[in-house]
Homo-oligomer: A and B are copies of this chain.
């Protein structure tokens, strides 16, 4: 059974080695975090190598929510951080682990549902993954030797989560609700615009289409929209097209 402590979900994106998933579970539980999600694990799920490494944190693996793609893995989240070695996407806020987890604690205290995404071991997250994130977390490592592995990155963010909770326990437990759009709302909005813009020939030339779509996704996830905002933006698009197709 998961604890009832309000907390962010930690989402492992396409993790490769089972051992690393197990070590990440241990790192989370060291700091009282027990909501693991796993997107498209390379070696399938469940994974005996993960269980072998997790020892006392095996429950997190049993209870992990596994999904096939990033969008499904964070569909119910209202605010998502992506951890990256270097902040490539400069149009999103870039947080230190400490600032990010203080921000996450405040959001969770307002009733938001928060996730932190961690990329695959070798390659890190792709731009299309990061496009789903509202903000970036970068660990201040030695630029000559930035070699944090997956479990170490999970450990540092988990450590900062626990520090944030200890600094302001009441804030996190407050549980007021704001009407933030979750990622499912954002996904629907993004797709709505993408489809209509596709039909309108917006993504041109072809070899730039993918990066234009990523840029557009980044725009939506950066805006911190409420549910009402998304409804309005759907309406805007419908209204624009109504004039056009008639």
Contacts and interface: CB of A to CB of B under 8 A. Distances in A.
Interface in A127-156: 139-142, 144-148, 152, 155-156
A55 B163 CA distance: 31
A167 to B, nearest CB: 11
A142 B5 CA distance: 12
A5 to B, nearest CB: 10
Contact size range, A: 20 to 34
Chain A residues touching B, majority SS: helix
Interface of A: 26-27, 29-32, 55-57, 96, 98, 139-142, 144-148, 152, 155-156, 159, 162-163, 166
Contacts of A159: 139-140, 156, 159
A207 B29 CA distance: 41
Given A152-B155, A156-B155, A156-B159, A142 B30 contact: yes
